């Protein structure tokens, strides 16, 4: 079964990785401690945006006295964009032309937290490397304005590695309030670091998934029902996937595999294997190799 509408084929599956759990725990600790900010930097396609969405979905129900928002920072080639406009979009609000946008947002956040105690605004910003000095100064103003109405601000940022260059630039011009408040804690976000990471995700396809809803079919059983019934499990292929993926990368992606290309490789493998589904299904190593090759991982690493 090829399943063109399957969540795997549509790219709608959110694999929960060991790295995402590590980051969530760090974020939870920083929010509970009411730290002003924590940042995570990592190479392209290692799964930072997926993690940002995961952190938002997990923090919101766990911290009832917090208003949690996910904001995506756009490229600043268009000078009209800044964090205030992006926050309005994230909060699904608009303002009249003569209204001060910052105070409008502060009032909106305060109204969202009107019935809460120990009020807190958690702002998750993806692609925060796009921020310029104006954006960070606005964050300082937002922090101060929220503090006036007894709301603490915690910023969680996900960035490309050039966030360090941004910090150095602020240090050179002695913008200590920006560095100390928002850029003093930066952690590296990793992609897949070992075969164990792949095993966990493939095992989720075998046992911790279902499609169609209420069908009782795992993702593996959906694509390979006869093989699954005879005992085949995708998790047994983690070593092969790790080998071919690792052979395709270099430099910053060594032992730091891009999540996007792993997902694409898995999707390709299921397409190749599904027509050969039988009760006597045998793993074809060449199918795994072709699946990884078709993900264009090697090409990506050559030009990244």
- Does residue 5 fall inside a structural domain? no
- Does residue 11 fall inside a structural domain? no
> Among residues 134, 154, 188, which one ends one of the domains?
188
For 206, the domain range is: 193-303
Q: Other C-beta atoms within 10 Å of 261: how many?
A: 24
* Mean pLDDT of the region 179-202: 96
* Mean pLDDT of the region 119-137: 96
Q: Other C-beta atoms within 10 Å of 14: how many?
A: 13
Task: Give the total number of structural domains in the chain.
Answer: 2
- Does residue 157 fall inside a structural domain? yes
Query: Would the pLDDT of 264 be above 80?
Result: yes
- Does residue 59 fall inside a structural domain? yes
Summarize pLDDT for 194-238 with one digit per residue, the tens.
999 999 999 999 998 999 999 999 999 999 999 999 999 999 999
Give the global pTM: 0.93
pLDDT band at 39 (very low <50, low <70, confident <90, very high): very high
Same domain as 182, residue 40:
yes
Which pLDDT does position 94 carry in this prediction? 85
More confident residue, 254 or 302: 254
Domain CATH number, residue 139: 3.40.50.300
Which pLDDT does position 1 carry in this prediction? 62
Q: How far apart are CA 188 and CA 166, in angstroms?
A: 15
Which pLDDT does position 96 carry in this prediction? 74
Which pLDDT does position 2 carry in this prediction? 64
Q: How far apart are CA 292 and CA 242, in angstroms?
A: 10
> Among residues 136, 161, 188, which one ends one of the domains?
188
Same domain as 267, residue 178:
no
Query: Would the pLDDT of 292 be above 70?
Result: yes
Which pLDDT does position 4 carry in this prediction? 83
Mean of the per-residue pLDDT values of the chain: 94
> Among residues 161, 188, 215, which one ends one of the domains?
188
* Mean pLDDT of the region 289-300: 96
Query: Would the pLDDT of 66 be above 70?
Result: yes
Q: How far apart are CA 297 and CA 252, in angstroms?
A: 13
* Mean pLDDT of the region 60-73: 94
Same domain as 143, residue 202:
no
């Amino acid at each position: 079964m090829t399943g063109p509408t399957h969540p795997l084929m549509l790219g709608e599956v959110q694999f929960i990785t060991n790295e995402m759990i590590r980051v969530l725990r760090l974020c939870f600790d920083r929010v509970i401690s009411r730290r002003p900010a924590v940042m995570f930097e990592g190479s392209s396609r290692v799964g930072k945006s997926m993690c940002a969405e995961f952190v938002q979905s997990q923090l919101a129900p766990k911290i009832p006295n917090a208003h949690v928002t996910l904001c995506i920072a756009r490229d600043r080639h268009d000078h009209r964009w800044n964090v205030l406009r992006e926050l309005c979009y994230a909060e699904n609000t608009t303002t009249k032309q003569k209204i001060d946008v910052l105070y409008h947002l502060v009032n909106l956040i305060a109204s969202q937290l009107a019935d809460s105690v120990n009020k807190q605004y958690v702002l998750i910003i993806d692609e925060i490397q796009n921020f310029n000095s104006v954006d960070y100064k606005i964050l300082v103003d937002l922090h101060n304005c929220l503090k006036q109405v007894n709301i603490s601000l915690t910023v969680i940022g996900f960035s490309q590695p050039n966030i360090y260059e941004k910090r150095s630039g602020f240090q050179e011009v002695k913008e200590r309030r920006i560095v100390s408040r928002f850029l003093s804690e930066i952690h590296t976000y990793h992609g897949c670091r070992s075969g164990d990471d792949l095993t966990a995700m493939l095992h989720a396809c075998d046992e911790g998934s279902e499609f169609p809803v209420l069908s009782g079919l795992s993702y593996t059983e959906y694509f390979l029902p006869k093989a699954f019934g005879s005992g085949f499990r995708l998790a047994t292929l983690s070593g092969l996937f790790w080998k071919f993926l690792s052979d395709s990368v270099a430099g910053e992606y060594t032992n730091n595999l891009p999540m996007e290309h792993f997902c694409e490789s898995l999707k390709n493998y299921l397409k190749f294997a599904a027509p050969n589904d039988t009760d006597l299904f045998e793993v074809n190593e060449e199918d795994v190799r072709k699946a990884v090759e078709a993900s264009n991982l090697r090409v990506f690493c050559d030009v990244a």
